[in-house]
Structure 1
Amino acid sequence: MEVPENKLNPSFFSRYAYAFKAIVIFIMVMVLLIPTAMIMDVIRERQDRQASAVEEVSSRWGYEQHITGPILAIPYTVAGSANSTYVYLLPEQLKINGELLPQKLKRGIFSVAVYDAKMQLSGTFSPTALYKSGVPPSALKWDQASIIMGITDLRGIDNQVKMVWNGKTFPFSPGVVNTDLFKSGIQSPVSLASGDTAALGGSFTVEVGVKGSGRISFSPVGKTTTVHTSSSWPDPSFDGAFPPKDRRVDAKGFSASWEIQDLNREYPQSWAGNKYDIHSADFGIKFFMPAESYQQSIRAVKYAILVIGLTFIIFYFIELSQRRAIHPLQYALVGLALCIFYTLLISISEQLNFALAYLIASGLTIALITLYVASAYKNSRIAAGIGGTLLLLYGFIYVIISAEDQALLMGSIGLFLTLAAIMYFSRTIKWDKLSEKSTVQ
């Protein structure tokens, strides 16, 4: 009795060996995405450690600082109520000249950007603006007036802050009259004669030194606010509501100037109560740390499937064209080498800048795979071809992760060209002949 041929007999597997090999390779690529996901967890864990280091240093040195003021606050009693509220008068002119002395403090392997800001604030008040608050001068408690300044982290103040106004010196003490404008700051009583609005017209100066970390910002409370800062920090990032009017950034540091009018913001020169958000127009400087290695490493890991997949496709095409079977274990070893690249990248970038770390990690990975292929195939030409292709691939990935704004465009074009190259080279393979040759005994 003749036994019917089973569809899963050895001749079937022999006939479609290359097809089954392609399926196995695809499964291996998917499996190798598991260690890349674990690498992503490692990056997040290192980011958390970095954030903890920044928090620890900042808690001792000083957090980022927001400087607001000086502002004149005068209480008055609302008709029909026993409670008092405040009228706030902003300066007519406000000039801030500051020098930011930066440092890098180390916590383990992590660096934190901190600064010591030496600033001089000067300007004038205008009694005219007070009439626009809607509160009659006769209702104001002039003898309880105060000058207030918002400073985010009072622990960073490193001098006895005093205000010289109309020839008189007013020392500041910690605390704020209320939380209408800001939650943290300093104040100084400036008892004024009842109805003496002429006293508001004099000039003032304030010397302030504050320590902070990461960022410093200012509120444009003057009708005309002029700010000039300089520092030896070579990598500033100007953020907030307004960019600098003039700037200079080079290897020796930076200088920047702002000039902002009251028409550029959403709050007036005087008002009563908590009607406005005085921080809505804040602007400032971020002490940018150029070694944002973890974010760039995350972007590199996102292209892991592209690197592993294309490398395996190259090996598969070599296997087809050379008629030399590559064992799945060899694919796995090459795939693991490609995964280890990312751990090398993360660990080296914590010690060096990202570009140099990427160069070292990719160079080691390419050299390892090239030498392995040369030893396995006994063919230096194939090994050189694999090494050159990986060099182009890693170079292309670096360009993509470095170009933040054009990353999607460049990645899409690169994938299209890669697919076109694969289709071009695959057209020379006689797919219909592979099964015939595989069944030849």
Structure 2
Amino acid sequence: METTEKTSLIERFNNWIKSSVMLKLITIFFLILLLMIPSSMLQSLVFERQATRDNAVEEITSKWGGNQTIGGAVITIPYTVIEEDDNGKKSTVIKYAHFLPEQLNITGKLIPEKRYRGIYVVMLYNAQLHLQGLFKKPDVTLLKIPKERFLFSEAFISFGISDMKGIKEAIQLKINGVNTEMNSGIESNDLFISGVSCPINLAAETINFDALINLNGSKEIDFLPFGKTTKVSLESAWGTPSFVGASLPDEREVTEKGFKAIWNELHLNRNYPHQGVGDFIGLKRNVVKNLPNDRSDLTYTDGEVVRSVAEEQSSFGVKLLLPVDEYQKTMRSTKYNLMFIVITFIAFFFVEILNRKRLHPIQYLLVGFAICLFYVLLLAISEHLSFNFAYLIGCVSILTLVTFYTIGIFKNTRTTLIFNGILTLLYGFFYSILQLEDYSLLLGSIGLLIILAVVMYLTRNIDWYRAYNGKEE
């Protein structure tokens, strides 16, 4: 008798488990939590592949030339200072006063070039720059330093170049029409981390300079507006530029065949004076390690990262963008993975309720894994084809897989077509969100509202207390 009662209780408990809608929803909730593990792994996989791409880019640019920042010309005059240490011992120290040009005109042509490292594309360029300008004879009395301390015979003119490996030819410089040979390195690092310099005679009232620089670089080139008036004119055959820095071009023309851009800057647009001593423009060097490789405001020196505050605040230039960054789009798509799983499971659940066909949690889990596999396919294929083709191939592959699986579960062609139609609409919906980045929030909100309205309409007549009652198909 007791055995019969126990058997009856077990049967009723099993029937409650099978027919409980709330228990099924709780199970689905825990399945979604479980699928968050592979979802987080997807983003880690994208970061890993992106890091591999960045390492390939760094390997090439380290030999060709990195992001270039051009500064100058600057006239520097050493002067002596007598300093006293804590023990009262006096010593003579050399310091430097710097003078910026009255006019600075830069015209340049960027010749883009793609290099490949395995499956990865690296954007390089050769910059042919022509720098012209003039100085007034430096007036040291403005610095309130005794004139007799200045070493005028040791004055020099310098140009800042952030990555010296990129210099392709000897720099041709004319000072007041006289050819002058440039030397590597700068005696003072107050204003530039690296660059070239040569001695200069300060006898003339005005000093004209004319320099030709043939320079290799990668991805981006920037300029410092050191003149009281600075004009930079650039042109290139690259059709997808991104103008970066403290100011945008006053004139620009961008077509598929290339771009032309002109900047006109005044000394009033920057936050440092026209002459000063030491690091008067605020070129503070904060060494920071382990920062991303794609930061445009960082200069790499001896394996370390040097941030130039002055460059951040006043430099401007152009970045040669690749038309599509597959990793960025793939990363954005993985952020919608959880929402995709939730909506798919909801659709699966309501198809189950409407057809009175109970499904096992394992069947939910397999469909969830198929959704996660879509993003792995998207990442892998987009490294070889365009993102759009990769998305299409991934969609077709997963939809085909899920179609054959669901038709085996429901044994009903109509139900299978309805469910896979829902998945097709979801893939199309999320693709639209990815394409319309500026309107993704608006489109996503409207889409979720429509989905909720459809669910509420289709389930308005369901008796949730007896949702599983009745004959199964």
The two structures have a TM-score, normalised by structure 2, of: 0.85
Specify which of 350, 357, 366 is matched with residue 383 of structure 2. Answer: 350
5+ residue gaps, structure 1, are none
Corresponding position: 1:43 with 2:53: no
Deviations for 1:257-310, whole angstroms, at most 9, x for unmatched residues?
A: 100000000111111222222433111111222332222222212211211121
Specify which of 26, 29, 35 is matched with residue 26 of structure 1. Answer: 29
Structural mapping, 1:293-372, within 5 Å: 293-372=326-405
Specify which of 96, 100, 114 is matched with residue 104 of structure 1. Answer: 114
SS at match of 2:279: coil
Structural mapping, 1:283-298, within 5 Å: 283-298=316-331
Report the equivalent of 1:421: 454
Specify which of 50, 54, 58 is matched with residue 57 of structure 2. Answer: 54
Specify which of 243, 254, 259 is matched with residue 249 of structure 1. Answer: 254
SS at match of 1:106: strand
Specify which of 78, 87, 100 is matched with residue 75 of structure 1. Answer: 78
SS at match of 1:25: helix
Corresponding position: 1:159 with 2:192: no
Q: Quick one: which amino acid aligns to residue 214 of structure 1?
A: K
Report the equivalent of 2:432: 399
Q: Give me the whole-angstrom Cα distance separating, in 2, the residues matched to 1:284 and 1:273.
A: 26
The structural deviation recorded for 1:36 is: 2.1
Q: Give me the whole-angstrom Cα distance separating, in 1, the residues matched to 2:398 and 2:140.
A: 70
CA contact (8 A) 2:70 2:224 kept: yes
> What is the aligned length?
434
Q: Give me the whole-angstrom Cα distance separating, in 2, the residues matched to 1:426 and 1:402.
A: 32
The structural deviation recorded for 1:372 is: 3.3
Q: Quick one: which amino acid aligns to residue 94 of structure 1?
A: L
Q: Give me the whole-angstrom Cα distance separating, in 1, the residues matched to 2:76 and 2:318.
A: 28
Q: Give me the whole-angstrom Cα distance separating, in 2, the residues matched to 1:8 and 1:286.
A: 72
CA contact (8 A) 1:96 1:121 kept: yes
Deviations for 1:312-350, whole angstroms, at most 9, x for unmatched residues?
A: 211211111112233444323322221110110000111
Q: Give me the whole-angstrom Cα distance separating, in 1, the residues matched to 2:139 and 2:238.
A: 39
The structural deviation recorded for 1:148 is: 0.6
The structural deviation recorded for 1:233 is: 1.4
The structural deviation recorded for 1:357 is: 1.5
The structural deviation recorded for 1:215 is: 1.1
Report the equivalent of 2:290: none
Deviations for 1:122-180, whole angstroms, at most 9, x for unmatched residues?
A: 01112376553334555432211101111011111011112111111111111111111
Q: Give me the whole-angstrom Cα distance separating, in 1, the residues matched to 2:432 and 2:468.
A: 41
CA contact (8 A) 2:71 2:159 kept: yes
Q: Quick one: which amino acid aligns to residue 343 of structure 2?
A: L
The structural deviation recorded for 1:11 is: 1.9
SS at match of 1:82: strand
Corresponding position: 1:10 with 2:11: yes
Corresponding position: 1:140 with 2:150: yes
Closer, same or farther: CA 219–428 of 1 in aligned 2, 3 Å: same
Q: Give me the whole-angstrom Cα distance separating, in 1, the residues matched to 2:462 and 2:52.
A: 51
Closer, same or farther: CA 163–261 of 1 in aligned 2, 3 Å: same
Closer, same or farther: CA 130–358 of 1 in aligned 2, 3 Å: farther
Deviations for 1:76-122, whole angstroms, at most 9, x for unmatched residues?
A: 22367611212211111101000011111111111111111000000
Q: Give me the whole-angstrom Cα distance separating, in 1, the residues matched to 2:177 and 2:392.
A: 62
CA contact (8 A) 1:14 1:435 kept: no
CA contact (8 A) 1:89 1:130 kept: no
Tell me how large the CA RMSD over aligned residues is. Answer: 2.4
The structural deviation recorded for 1:239 is: 1.0
Corresponding position: 1:150 with 2:160: yes
Report the equivalent of 1:373: 406
CA contact (8 A) 1:130 1:270 kept: no
Report the equivalent of 2:217: 212
Q: Quick one: which amino acid aligns to residue 44 of structure 2?
A: D
Q: Give me the whole-angstrom Cα distance separating, in 1, the residues matched to 2:138 and 2:327.
A: 54
The structural deviation recorded for 1:387 is: 2.7
Q: Give me the whole-angstrom Cα distance separating, in 1, the residues matched to 2:193 and 2:379.
A: 40
CA contact (8 A) 1:170 1:190 kept: no
Specify which of 260, 267, 271 is matched with residue 266 of structure 1. Answer: 271
Report the equivalent of 2:198: 188
Deviations for 1:354-400, whole angstroms, at most 9, x for unmatched residues?
A: 22222221232223323433454343333332232222212222233
CA contact (8 A) 1:15 1:435 kept: no
Q: Give me the whole-angstrom Cα distance separating, in 2, the residues matched to 1:391 and 1:434.
A: 27
After superposing the two structures, state which structure 1 stretch, 208-217 or 396-405, moved more.
396-405
Q: Give me the whole-angstrom Cα distance separating, in 1, the residues matched to 2:418 and 2:465.
A: 26
Percent of aligned pairs with the same residue? 40
Deviations for 1:184-208, whole angstroms, at most 9, x for unmatched residues?
A: 111111133xxx3xx1514221000
After superposing the two structures, state which structure 1 stretch, 258-267 or 233-242, moved more.
233-242
CA contact (8 A) 1:76 1:139 kept: yes
CA contact (8 A) 1:241 1:283 kept: yes
Q: Give me the whole-angstrom Cα distance separating, in 1, the residues matched to 2:10 and 2:37.
A: 33
Closer, same or farther: CA 363–49 of 1 in aligned 2, 3 Å: same
Q: Give me the whole-angstrom Cα distance separating, in 2, the residues matched to 1:384 and 1:378.
A: 11
CA contact (8 A) 2:246 2:314 kept: yes
Q: Give me the whole-angstrom Cα distance separating, in 1, the residues matched to 2:320 and 2:9.
A: 66
